[in-house]
Structure 1
Amino acid sequence: MARQLHSKPQVRLDRSLFKARSGESLLIIGYALCLFLLPLALFVWVANTASTLWVLLCSPLWVLAGYGWFLQAILGHEGFHFNLSSKPMHSCYLGILTSSLLPGFCVTGYFVDHWQHHRYSNSEQDPDYRHFSRYRSLFSRLALSRLIATSNYLQATLRLAFGPPVSPSPLPSPLSAAQVRRLARCNIACQVGWLSVYTVALWQIDGLLLGFALSLAVAFLLSAVNAYQEHAFSEGHDQPPARSRTSRLSTWLHVGANFHLEHHFYPAVPCWRLPKVHRQLLEAGWYADRQYLLEKRFVPSFKYASARHPYRGDTVNA
């Protein structure tokens, strides 16, 4: 296991921050759906009723819809961290239902790697480090890193659903191997179901194809950049674990998942409560000499996808 350069903060958090509440989770799911569907619907209306100039001027709408789509993947991630419900399987099913809105993204296969990412963050045993560190150029990071990762997650989900039984469970307790198999099959069924809904909608609604394609492209690029925004640093920094993006706009668009370092320290805290965790760490002085672990501006956070910021390893966050 790699060296631990940034140990978990010795800050006592309110235990209520860790409690999953289904009603609260449903509100967050509703927010994510509105961020996806409302801008998309408005863009489609403009595309069908206005001039080409107005369609171009309304490009922020499909950018917002792309963020809403990307939020579905974040909610899938939260579901498998058991943060959407106090009942682990219910949390996973909610995560599957929402994240399957994103075509091709299978959260069950993703989490096989993701919990190892938490356990061995940024070390050779971390699947994310092994995958994302191999891409050095901006083009390969944008065009290939997430495409190949998503393909791997889909293949892993298919193996879990229909391949030979895996024992012990490839996912952390309390999920059994049989439960993981059911989740994987549910994940495939939800993907097929949402794709069927999209096919009918695209056939029936004029202009939807354009908005659908543009917002999906945004969601894909956001997911590709995200890994590097969270884990890529300049050469001068000594093997940091993760980065938190603290702009208010990032918090609105990512419902708190932008506080990624806090998530690594406290993965059982739902992402929308991580801003409170961040404020407690600030008040405790933990960030006083660790400002390079923060990106306070929204637009500059995208620079970490460039080759000047390598995805580096040899550190543990837990």
Structure 2
Amino acid sequence: MRRIGDFLTLEQTRRLGAKSNLVGALLVLHAWGLIAGSMALFVWWPNPFTFLLGVMLIGGRQLGLAILMHDAAHGLLFADRRLNEGVGSWLCAFPVFTSLALYRPYHLQHHRFTQQAEDPDLGLSAAFPTTRASLRRKIVRDLTGQTAFLRRGEQIRRALGSADTPLGTQLANLWRKEKGPLIATLVLLAGLSAAGYWWLYPVMWLLPLATWYQLVSRIRNIAEHAVVPDDDDPLRNTRTTYANPLMRLLVAPYWVNYHLEHHLFMFVPCWRLPQAHRALLDGGHRLSMELKPGYLAVLKAATTGAQCGGRSPGARTAQHI
């Protein structure tokens, strides 16, 4: 089994693991600033271009909020525990209809059993490689809101309880289980209404969440664990995908593309992952790492069977290039 000491010195470990309340706050403010700016641009200059740009920018930042929630799940967003839990829940998780408390144990199980039978995320990668036609159908479902409708519908059904439960009890269950997202929804809607733009909530919040956010979440999932060469090697059972500035803006915010480094070093905040990547390269591990030059290369591998080693779904043996 690989250990942190196989890759980093003690000094590197201490430096990379340092958390910051200031940086955490700036990241959250950055996400909400881009969201507010995108809405303001569309209000100021309404046209098809600013509409589509707004949907993509906001959907990308909604994924960004989920990524910051992910850092909070690891206790990395803030050095202060109360800030980590409070901001991670109220400003990151709840606005995108997610729960930090429910996500944390699920996600930590994924880390413990990465690409093994007990991995709760295994279903996200097991379907690949697939055909291009299949991927196109998935993309259409994402961009037309079908994926979001199914996911949110299942979330609401679970919260309501069994169909034979009295309506009053179902509504009480919904409030008890989804109180955070419901309050976040009301606050966002009330704030936009007070500014005179209530319609921005369905048009420039729910619509990006139901479309672009679903697509970039799928692309993220594919890039992280689909068609990897070796389920049992921590350098090759997940992937780092290089992302240019446009991809970081619209598809891969807050260094989510450095997923291999995140799995190796769970104690490293997201904003230090590029430093962790450089440490691995400087340590001579480049040829052992699963790297892709961009997201198009990942999607090509996921739809052609060019798997950087060709692991068939469900196989447990490595086949390296």
Q: Distance in 2 between matches of 1:311 and 1:88?
A: 40
- Alignment match, 1:80: 73
Alignment of 1:254 with 2:247, yes or no, is no
- Greater mean deviation of Cα atoms: 30-39 or 70-79: 30-39
Distance 1:84 1:153, change over 3 A: farther
Q: Is the 8 A contact 2:240 2:261 kept in 1?
A: yes
- Alignment match, 1:15: 14
Larger RCO (alpha carbons 8 Å, 6+ apart): 1
- Greater mean deviation of Cα atoms: 131-140 or 219-228: 131-140
Q: Which amino acid aligns with 1:36?
A: I
Distance 1:105 1:283, change over 3 A: same
Deviations 1:125-180 (A, max 9, x none): 11111455258542358658787677777888999xxxxxxxxxxxxxxxxxxxxx
Indicate the SS of the match to 1:24.
Answer: helix
Deviations 1:165-220 (A, max 9, x none): xxxxxxxxxxxxxxxxxxxx998443122111233356541652333344222112
Q: Is the 8 A contact 1:20 1:84 kept in 2?
A: yes
Return structure 1 stretches of 4+ with deviation > 6 angstroms.
Answer: 144-159
- Which structure 2 segments of 5+ residues have no match? 162-174
Distance 1:191 1:303, change over 3 A: farther
- Alignment match, 1:229: 223
Please show how residues 20-39 of structure 1 align to structure 2 within 5 Å: 20-39=19-38
Q: Which amino acid aligns with 1:78?
A: D
Distance 1:88 1:194, change over 3 A: same
- Alignment match, 1:294: 291
Indicate the SS of the match to 2:274.
Answer: helix
- Alignment match, 2:241: 245
Q: Distance in 2 between matches of 1:256 and 1:186?
A: 34
Q: Distance in 1 between matches of 2:155 and 2:75?
A: 19
- Which structure 1 segments of 5+ residues have no match? 48-53, 160-184
Alignment of 1:56 with 2:46, yes or no, is no
Distance 1:304 1:75, change over 3 A: farther
Deviation at 1:18, TM superposition (A): 0.7
Q: Which amino acid aligns with 2:57?
A: L
Q: Is the 8 A contact 2:242 2:292 kept in 1?
A: yes
Percent of pairs with identical residues? 24
Distance 1:156 1:117, change over 3 A: farther
- Alignment match, 1:166: none
- Greater mean deviation of Cα atoms: 28-37 or 198-207: 198-207
Q: Which amino acid aligns with 1:205?
A: Y
Deviation at 1:312, TM superposition (A): 5.8
Q: Which amino acid aligns with 2:253?
A: H
Deviation at 1:26, TM superposition (A): 0.4
Distance 1:107 1:304, change over 3 A: farther
Q: Which amino acid aligns with 2:218?
A: A
Q: TM-score, normalised by structure 2?
A: 0.72
Q: Aligned-pair RMSD on alpha carbons?
A: 3.6
- Alignment match, 1:42: 41
Indicate the SS of the match to 1:272.
Answer: helix
Q: Is the 8 A contact 2:125 2:225 kept in 1?
A: no
- Alignment match, 1:174: none
- Greater mean deviation of Cα atoms: 17-26 or 81-90: 81-90
Q: Distance in 2 between matches of 1:272 and 1:282?
A: 17
Q: Is the 8 A contact 2:223 2:239 kept in 1?
A: yes
Q: Distance in 1 between matches of 2:85 and 2:304?
A: 35
Q: Distance in 2 between matches of 1:14 and 1:37?
A: 36
Q: Distance in 1 between matches of 2:151 and 2:104?
A: 12
Distance 1:151 1:40, change over 3 A: same
Between the two proteins, the alignment pairs up a number of residues equal to 277
Q: Distance in 2 between matches of 1:57 and 1:265?
A: 39
